[in-house]
Amino acid sequence: MLQISFSTQVESTAGALAILVPEGDAHPTVFQNFDAATQGALSRAAKAEGFKGKGGTSCVVLAPSDSFERIVLVGIGKAGDVDAWVAEKAGGLAASLLARAPKAAVAVGDLSGALAAHVALGAVLGAYHFGLYQTKKEDDKKHQLAELSVLGAHVGAAEELWPSLQAVARGVVLTRDLVSEPANVLNPVEFAERATTLRAHGLEVEVLDVAAMTELGFGALLGVAQGSANEPRTVVMRWNGGKEGDAPVAFIGKGVTFDSGGISIKPAAGMEDMKWDMAGAATVTGLMASLALRKAPVNAVGVVGLVENMVSGTAQRPGDVVRSASGQTIEVLNTDAEGRLVLADVLWYARDRFAPRLMVDLATLTGAIIVGLGHEYAGLFSNDDDLAVGLADAGAFTGEKLWRMPLGKEYDALLKSDIADMQNISGGRAGGSITAAQFLKRFVGETPWAHLDIAGVAWASKAKNGQPKGATGFGVRLLDRFVRNGFEQG
């Protein structure tokens, strides 16, 4: 992970420099100083490129002096509109443009210490690269940035806030690493093993194997897993940072480490993407790591159901009926609607065992949510208005945006089965993400609950706004902010 330091002046060993520039003709002092030092190279380049400091724009000046191999101008928009999310995007863009320099600096001018720390957070995430399986040295040259110094006027305040944000960055990186792993490496057992390493940070981690889940009656989850040679697992992670005896906040993740669709098999084209059908579980794992690393004063529990959905002679068949941990029976009409079966048992288990004050589940659950919201928003479904508002506010702060979708008794009729308590699909194309959420609602009782359908935002097909191509880690920052805003004590 990118190493961050804070300073009031650039070190002579920095090979490249980024300068954050607000929109307008009046350039900040740091721009003027380096422009003078480079004999006007910055102002000439900005004029030639039409760079005015508009948010999300940049201008690269190559070899402006003997001291720097490049200076990058990064626009942050109007100075008065710069918030944490804008600062993070600018930091991410700067880091991506400085990627070929092993050591670099970013000048944030008069931004507050808090905003400088958020620039650093964005830079860490913008510099992320999953290169574990690349052996060619040419690939390494594209991602050399290892150390970044953040230059600003409020170093003390930035340094004070940074450890907390660094913990969040580590959680996001963990989530991205998990989502990026190929399914032949990260099967359910391996995922569970990696979760146990978080005990070193103070998390209590418990792993439920097949025998334990069978005893608990996890018929829905085990039905999904029965076609795979890789055994399923459920992992329980607990962080006890709040008052003893206080009910925890609970986070639930769908962890299908590979989804072939089962006997209702998916088309071959694009099936490789189904290695990241465990992004919900990865987000919960990254979030729990973040809470532990920053010693969050809250009681929290994360529960992830880990399965592989495969085709074999033992695979679940369309038309099978399974009994969930809640006792409710489910007719499985489509084995590719498996995530809701996994969550049915895990949601019920979390509710029954921990009696949480609220539950939030995350899942790459439906393609329908992508049809409705594209790749800009995750779908938010909830049985509690206050919870929905809290999550939406946290999403707005972090830039991980949510759009609330409806629930209603009218949709329940679409899940009626002729031979069981319910069926796992509606049987039609209309409202697919809504009926999926309506299915999940049957397993949460009266507990305040929200479901985040992250199918459209867990993976980026191309880089943008400081977000590298690939796993996004969506949800870690959002839920960390949600916890900070409403549930931390002291």
Compute the distance between CA of residue 438 and CA of residue 429 in angstroms, rounded to an integer. 15
- In a domain, residue 478? The reply is yes
- In a domain, residue 274? The reply is yes
Token code pair at residue 311: 């085709």
Alpha-carbon dihedral 306, 310, 312, 315, rounded to 10 degrees: 60
Sheet holding 58-62, edge to edge: 3-7, 147-152, 103-109, 16-21, 70-75, 58-62
Based on the fold, state whether residues 240 and 379 are members of the same structural domain. yes
Compute the distance between CA of residue 352 and CA of residue 341 in angstroms, rounded to an integer. 17
β-strand partners of 308:
258
Residue 374: is it exposed, middle or buried by C-beta count within 10 angstroms (0-12/13-18/19+)?
exposed
- In a domain, residue 166? The reply is no
Last residue of a domain, one of 95, 126, 154: 154
- In a domain, residue 374? The reply is yes
Place of tokens 């996001």: 172
- Name the DSSP class of 385: H
β-strand partners of 252:
303, 361
- In a domain, residue 164? The reply is no
β-strand partners of 234:
208, 305
Which residue type occupies 266?
K
- In a domain, residue 163? The reply is no
Based on the fold, state whether residues 111 and 259 are members of the same structural domain. no
Based on the fold, state whether residues 117 and 176 are members of the same structural domain. no
Token code pair at residue 305: 């159901």
Q: Would you state the pLDDT for residue 52?
A: 94
Compute the distance between CA of residue 153 and CA of residue 160 in angstroms, rounded to an integer. 14
Q: What is the DSSP string of 2-71?
A: -EEEEESS--TT--EEEEEE-SSSS--HHHHHHHHHTTTHHHHHHHHHT----TT-EEEEES-SSS-SEE
Based on the fold, state whether residues 100 and 186 are members of the same structural domain. no
HSE, CB side, 13 Å, CA atoms: give it for residue 94.
38
Decide: 475 and 295 in contact? Cβ < 8 Å.
Answer: no
Based on the fold, state whether residues 183 and 136 are members of the same structural domain. no
β-strand partners of 452:
362, 380
Based on the fold, state whether residues 111 and 200 are members of the same structural domain. no
Based on the fold, state whether residues 286 and 386 are members of the same structural domain. yes
Based on the fold, state whether residues 105 and 241 are members of the same structural domain. no
- Name the DSSP class of 421: S
Place of tokens 């987000």: 283
Cα dist from 269 to 259, 260, 461, whole Å = 13, 11, 15
Q: What is the DSSP string of 332-368?
A: ES-TT--HHHHHHHHHHHHHHHH--SEEEEEE---SH
- In a domain, residue 162? The reply is no
Total domain count, the chain: 2
Sheet holding 422-423, edge to edge: 320-323, 329-332, 422-423
Cα dist from 456 to 168, 301, 369, whole Å = 22, 25, 7
Residue 73, helix vs strand vs coil: strand
Based on the fold, state whether residues 391 and 424 are members of the same structural domain. yes
Alpha-carbon dihedral 290, 292, 297, 303, rounded to 10 degrees: 80
As a whole number of Å, the end-to-end CA separation of the chain is: 30
- Name the DSSP class of 431: T
Q: Would you state the pLDDT for residue 138?
A: 67
Which residue type occupies 332?
V
Compute the distance between CA of residue 259 and CA of residue 472 in angstroms, rounded to an integer. 19
Residue 135: is it exposed, middle or buried by C-beta count within 10 angstroms (0-12/13-18/19+)?
exposed
Based on the fold, state whether residues 221 and 309 are members of the same structural domain. yes
**Residues annotated catalytic, as ranges:** 266, 340
Compute the distance between CA of residue 298 and CA of residue 178 in angstroms, rounded to an integer. 25
Provide the domain limits for residue 46: 3-154
Backbone angles phi, psi at 325, to 5 degrees: -60, -25
In what helix (H) or strand (E) does residue 237 lie, and over which residues does it extend? strand 233-240
Short-list 369, 332, 386, CA closest to 453: 369
Cα dist from 182 to 132, 207, 467, whole Å = 11, 22, 20
Short-list 43, 20, 22, 156, CA closest to 95: 20
Predicted structure pTM score: 0.97
CATH of the domain at 292: 3.40.630.10
Q: Would you state the pLDDT for residue 300?
A: 98
Short-list 131, 63, 65, 55, CA closest to 94: 55
Compute the distance between CA of residue 339 and CA of residue 351 in angstroms, rounded to an integer. 18
* Predicted confidence pLDDT, tens digits, the chain (490 residues): 999 999 988 776 678 999 999 998 778 888 998 899 889 999 999 999 999 999 999 999 998 877 788 999 999 999 999 999 999 999 999 999 999 999 999 999 999 999 999 999 999 999 999 999 988 766 666 789 999 999 999 999 999 999 999 999 999 999 999 999 999 999 999 999 999 999 999 999 999 999 999 999 999 999 999 999 999 999 999 999 999 999 999 999 999 999 999 999 999 999 999 999 999 999 999 999 999 999 999 999 999 999 999 999 999 999 999 999 999 999 999 999 999 999 999 999 999 999 999 999 999 999 999 999 999 999 999 999 999 999 999 999 999 999 999 999 999 999 999 999 999 999 888 999 999 999 999 999 999 999 999 999 999 999 887 789 999 999 999 999 999 999 997 6
Backbone angles phi, psi at 372, to 5 degrees: -80, -40
Q: Would you state the pLDDT for residue 97?
A: 94
Strand pairing class (449-453; 378-382): antiparallel
Last residue of a domain, one of 93, 119, 154: 154
Q: Would you state the pLDDT for residue 13?
A: 66
CATH of the domain at 28: 3.40.220.10
Compute the distance between CA of residue 85 and CA of residue 92 in angstroms, rounded to an integer. 10
Decide: 348 and 341 in contact? Cβ < 8 Å.
Answer: no
- In a domain, residue 142? The reply is yes
Q: Would you state the pLDDT for residue 174?
A: 98
Based on the fold, state whether residues 120 and 265 are members of the same structural domain. no
Last residue of a domain, one of 128, 154, 180: 154
Based on the fold, state whether residues 430 and 342 are members of the same structural domain. yes
Token code pair at residue 478: 């959002």
